[in-house]
Structure 1
Amino acid sequence: MTLHAPLILDIAGTTLSADDRRRLAHPLTGGMILFGRNWHSRAQLSDLCAEIKSIRADLLIAVDHEGGRVQRFRTDGFTHLPPMRALGELWAQDEQGLPGSGVLMACEAATSVGFVLASELRACGVDFSFTPVLDLDHGESGVIGDRAFARDPRVVSLLARSLMQGLLQAGMGNCGKHFPGHGAVKADSHVALPVDKRSLKAILADDALPYPWLGSVLTAVMPAHVVYSRVDARPAGFSKHWLQDILRGQLGFRGAVISDDLSMAAARQVQGQSLSYAEAVRAALEAGCDLTLLCNRSVGDGAELDTVLDALAEAAVKGHWHPNEVSEQRRLALLPTAVARDWETLVRSADYMRALDLLT
């Protein structure tokens, strides 16, 4: 069987249990995602990440750490990062007599955000953050809101590129989300299935524009749990048309495609059918995802995670799911290659202190 570890799982607490270690050692587990409940202190986080890597050095340790209201670690030295909307607002704030100075300040600040974000995470052993948000701020979506840079796809693209440059300077990849755009729908996909009734032409000419514009620097993309009803009856993350025909075929994306959280209530609704967690994982992989996120299932006994691992292994043995070597290479490409600075070295470094100055 071709090696392919497509599952990103979570753990319940601040240390690893025996069940956590067993699941992380499973050959189908490719990574884990951290949450606020996994945080107590920098020392604890560093020890946790080191223990994870001792189980499997190739496991991707990831987190949703964008800034603003989506920032998992906020104490013990971690910088409080601004929401992306603040960078979009800075874009328009030219200094008197200096037209365009706001654009320059916003781009430099975005680079500083990316650098600080990534360097602090990497100093504690975290490999990857699911950022930046590329959704446009239509003023419709509460779940996106100030997580978006701006309404204008040009502003979003340039600020996202700057933030990605900061991530790269610290040795971290990036993940543009939520393809092809979540900002124009009101429903929160955590609890309901949003439907966008616009045409493909309208979406590609507006919300999806950052994806081809950033194609040369995007390392990963996360599709939206949204149905674009005039394009496909299936949500984008379960749609071969969106992921294979449009994202990879028409837009030429070659990086990793990572599903959004498949534990969300809306995430497993496909054409009126409610999928099990195992069915949702397979459906996402078959549609074209390289990796699948299954969050918040470890709390309690974590039996649902074991069911998914067993079901996917059985599907591979029976030929119902075919592991993908290319997908595995895309997963491995998300792992940092440069050695991270430890925290004490980082906070004394000139580039870090300069980046902090630009954020105050």
Structure 2
Amino acid sequence: MSDAKSWIAAPLGLEPSREERQFFAGERPWGFILFARNIDGPSQLTELVEMLKELGGRETTPIFIDQEGGRIRRLMPPLAPNRPAPRVIGDLYREDGESGRRLAYLHGRLLAADLMRYGINADCVPCIDVPVEGAHDIIGDRALSNDPHEVAVLGRAMAEGCMAGGVLPVLKHMPGHGRGRADSHKELPIVDAKHYELAARDFLPFAELSDMPCAMSAHILFSDIDSQRPATLSPVIIEDVIRGEIGFEGLLMTDDISMKALKGPYDERARASISAGCDIVLHCNGDMQEMRPLVRGVPVLDGESRRRAIHAESYLTQPADSEQLDAMGEEYDRLLSVLV
């Protein structure tokens, strides 16, 4: 990855076009991310993943996807089983703590197996945001619980399940999206809660999981901490809160840089996020007219960002317990049946 650049790209269709192949080969994204538009069937998906890893230049090129369960999943049956929204895990945890933790672990482990079947090796889970009453439902049942301590316990178990399956987990959305009253895909959410309130609730799960290898930033403006810039573009949030107060030392990638919560030319967005302290810029919509200017704002991975990227890639391993998947699937179904 010596010449990889500090961004994650998304192909537009079912396979990279000639233009995309040339562009990605020249601009060397560190990784790629997939969406429903990229998926048609098992063999097509496996071939696409192999192509993207070849373009990345190494077998450990991270191939990301959002496969949480519930309404956020890119792989649908028959490509992968329907798995429930994370909120059901919190429901079980409140009835039986040990069973809830086990279900969270198995959820992560089986999500990993669902993805590794096609060579996908990174999942944007767990979502460890803590919703509050009146917040926008963009998080909703994606949250494990409304209690930050429960979220921390279950988020760790789910992340450990992913890692046991050879898949890199991505904590999201740091330092917390739970109070947002708008969908950051469409506009910038502004959170006016005081810093001490945020620290006690929103930041807590991220602090408890600060040893994890990778996280995604939140396009949220926290007015009591930085009244001018959303977290993704804020040196105050990233250096003082995420790296300092929360203590996160892993790889920090932006949420999708093309979301409408952010404004301005794409090279300026990318440059501002890197300058603020993000390691990797994520671009998701596959629009070449956005990617071409964006790459002018992303440097070659170097220094601490390169070290963090290498560390994140070290989690992309072959699982040692694959022969136990059937038994784990049966246990998972038994635990879920308690809630029916």
**What's the TM-score once normalised by structure 2's chain length?**
0.90
Name the SS for the 1:333 alignment partner. helix
| Matching of residues 209-288 of structure 1 within 5 Å | 209-216=204-211, 218-232=212-226, 233-268=228-263, 275-288=264-277
Deviations 1:5-33 (A, max 9, x none): 21111111111211221232234411111
Higher Rg = 1
How far the C-alpha of 1:353 sits from its partner, in A, is 4.7
The residue type paired with residue 101 of structure 2 is: C
Change (3 A) 1:23 1:157: same
Residue 305 (str. 1) matches residue 291 (str. 2): yes
**Secondary structure of the residue that 2:103 maps to in structure 1?**
helix
Pick aligned residue for 1:196 from 178, 188, 191: 191
2:319 & 2:118 partners in 1: Cα distance?
Answer: 9
CA offset at residue 348 of structure 1? 6.7
**Equivalent residue, structure 1, for 2:162:** 167
Q: Which amino acid aligns with 1:157?
A: A
Query: What is the SS of the residue equivalent to 1:79?
Result: coil
Q: How does 1:54-133 map to 2 (within 5 A)?
A: 54-55=54-55, 56-57=57-58, 58-93=60-95, 102-133=96-127
Cα distance in 2 for residues equivalent to 1:117 and 1:240: 34
Once the two structures are TM-superposed, the CA of residue 249 in structure 1 deviates from its matched residue by 2.0
SS of the equivalent of 1:177 reads strand
Q: Where does structure 1 differ by over 3 angstroms across 4 or more consecutive aligned residues?
A: 345-360
1:71 deviates by 0.5
Give the residue type in structure 1 aligned to 2:318: V
| Deviation digits for residues 288-341 of structure 1 (CA, Å, limit 9, x no counterpart) | 00011111133xxx23212222x237xx6xxxxx85322122223323442269
1:346, CA displacement in angstroms?
6.5
**Partner AA of 2:215 in structure 1:** V
Secondary structure of the corresponding residue to residue 312 of structure 2 = coil
| CA deviations over 1:99-152 (Å, ceiling 9, x no partner) | xxx211111111111001012111211110111111112131211111111111
The answer to whether structure 1 residue 185 and structure 2 residue 180 are counterparts is yes
Residue 150, structure 1, aligned to residue 150, structure 2: no
Closer/same/farther in 2, CA of residues 193 and 355 from structure 1, 3 Å limit: same
Q: Secondary structure at the match of 2:138?
A: coil
Residues 192 and 265 in structure 1, CA contact (< 8 A), matched pair in contact too: yes
Count of aligned residue pairs for this structure pair = 331
TM-score where L is the length of structure 1: 0.86
Q: Do residues 205 (structure 1) and 207 (structure 2) align?
A: no
**1:175-219 deviation per Cα after TM superposition (whole angstroms, max 9, x unaligned):** 111122111121111111111111111101111101111123x21
Query: What is the percentage of aligned positions where both structures have the same residue?
Result: 30
Aligned residues of 1:157 and 1:213 also touching (Cα < 8 A): yes
**Contact 2:165/2:318, CA 8 A, preserved across alignment:** no
- 1:161 deviation in Å? 1.0
CA distance in 2, matches of 1:86, 1:325: 41
- 1-side partners of 2:203 and 2:97: how far apart? 22
Partner of 1:96: none
Post-superposition CA distance 1:205-251 (Å, at most 9, x none): 111101111123x2112121111111102101111111112211233
Aligned AA for 1:285?
A: I
Matched residue SS, 2:127: coil
Q: For residues 284 and 53 of structure 2, what CA distance do their matches in structure 1 show?
A: 20
Relative distance call for 1:288 and 1:253 in structure 2 (3 A) is same
CA distance in 2, matches of 1:359, 1:5: 42
Residue 48 to residue 41, structure 1, CA distance change in 2 (3 Å): same
Post-superposition Cα deviations, 1:71-107, rounded to whole Å, max 9, x if no partner, equal 10012241211111111112223xxxxxxxx211111
Partners of 1:158 and 1:79 in 2: how far apart? 25
Counterpart of 1:292 in structure 2 is 281
Q: One-letter code of the match for 2:317?
A: A
